[in-house]
Amino acid sequence: MKQQREHWGTRLGFIMATAGSAIGLGSLWRFPYVTGQNGGGAFVMLYLFFTLIIGIPVFISELLIGRASQKSAVLAYNDLSHGSTHWKLLGWLNLITSFIILSYYSVVSGWTLNYTVMSLNNFTANKTPEQIRNIFEILFKSGDISVFWHFIFMTMTVGVVFCGIRKGIEYWSKILTPALFTILIGLFIYSTTLPGFPAAVKFILYPDFSKLTASGVLTALGMSLFTLSVGLGIILTYGSYMKNSDDIPKTGLIIGSVSVLVSLFSALMIFPIVFTFGFKPEAGPGLVFQTLPVLFSKLPGTILLSTTFFILFVFATLTSAISLLEIIVANLIEVFEWTRTKAVLIAGLLAFLLGIPTALSGSGTLFKNWKAIFGGDFFDTVNNITATWFMPISAFLTVIFISFIMKKNFSEQEFSKGTTLQKTMHIWFFLVRYVAPIAIFIIILQETGVINLSKLFTK
């Protein structure tokens, strides 16, 4: 029997849930270190520009497709493609991508739980910087510990999604997302008291275009999509729970602004600590788990500071993981007419099982010859496949779908429902039809190695 579709109980709940989905490791973890690697201010300026002209328009497109269809990805693309049976494959690509990302995202999130508990136990006490850095290497190689925390985190995610939209996702988003903002602002205020804060502000907000490369421009463009969680079907699914009276353009602008602010606050929280102790800003992916614990150990109130920081990451990763699981569950409910209980338990179990090879990547106890064959461990492989291929292709096909497959008049009507920003419709449609496809296609060519803009523009 087909179940009646739930809708968000309140506009605030929807915004909190969608903002929580967009704000995850992209804003808190990836944005700061990528900014450091790409020279700071000029990269940030381009990120802001691309978020406005590409990220937010694509975000609005996914919301529009979801609300117009009142379906999740697979059936949404099927129903709005005027009888074509091929576009539902894009929905399946969304589903598969979210499933793979959730599996390894849960492992990384489990590491944040582990670091939270370690921080409570003052794990940096009486250790040299090198010993503190090596703790992550030990954790990465300890498959049993990684699997344990992966299980704990996945159980937390399943527990929230199990309760449904209003009683689960919306309820917990109203708690977790404001808590995330509160902790982030508190840590930011603390960072303003550090000697390195002026240098951090200059590095992040003052554009030095001599430090920006052609590939860095594309990285900024990709980051504008990544931090908004577009190209996964998540925003489409959340949009399908919207009411016709909800304002899609205004929601897109609000969530886009929140995502940008969180990214900037994250950088302004982290880099003052980095600059205070003379570390280089281009620390890379190990910034959170290796560099910052060393720096926390040098500051007053190490236990409180470190614990609060990793709790922030737990909240951020949990709100994102919830949305990843929800897109899988929503599609299983609609396509196979499963109950929510069955869909959540099966999806959660399968995501946990697929995450085990990632959790064991460092230990070498599973797929011992994987690295020799694929050139990287299992974690690297699934991460590269989703980031390099699945997500960009999905985002590209999404804008093609709304630009050329859906009828323009239908898109205009759906865009105008419940909004006072009808006059922006033509700007949005122009950006989605002409600007976004070209930009995303160039990203795909760059990421897949077909072109190398750095070499093209280097004499």
Lowest mean pLDDT among 186-195, 224-233, 321-330, 433-442: 224-233
Does residue 154 fall inside a structural domain? yes
Which parts of 192-233 fold into alpha helices (H)?
A: 197-205, 214-226
Does residue 28 fall inside a structural domain? yes
- Assign residue 376 a region: left if phi > 0, alpha if psi is -120 to 50, beta otherwise? beta
Does residue 3 fall inside a structural domain? no
Mean pLDDT of the region 158-175 = 90
Smallest CA-to-CA distance from 57 within 237, 249, 247, 245 is with: 249
pLDDT tens-digit map of 106-124: 999 999 999 999 999 999 9
> Is residue 328 over pLDDT 90?
yes
- Rounded Cα distance between 89 and 393, Å, is 12
Amino acid at 156: M
> Is residue 368 over pLDDT 70?
yes
The pLDDT assigned to 283 comes to: 63
Count: domains in the chain: 1
Q: Determine the structural domain holding residue 401 and report its residue range.
A: 11-456
Does residue 5 fall inside a structural domain? no
- Rounded Cα distance between 122 and 117, Å, is 9
Assessment of whether the complete model's pTM goes beyond 0.85? yes
The pLDDT assigned to 229 comes to: 84
Does residue 6 fall inside a structural domain? no
> Is residue 1 over pLDDT 50?
no
The overall average pLDDT reported for the chain is 88
- Rounded Cα distance between 258 and 267, Å, is 14
Is 373 buried (19+), middle (13-18) or exposed (0-12) by CB count in 10 A? exposed
Does residue 436 fall inside a structural domain? yes
Does residue 74 fall inside a structural domain? yes
Does residue 4 fall inside a structural domain? no
Which parts of 386-433 fold into alpha helices (H)?
A: 391-400, 408-416, 425-430
- Rounded Cα distance between 339 and 3, Å, is 8
pLDDT tens-digit map of 10-68: 888 888 888 888 777 677 778 888 888 888 889 999 999 999 999 999 999 999 999 99
pLDDT band at 285 (very low <50, low <70, confident <90, very high): low
Residue 137 sits in a domain of what CATH number?
1.20.1740.10
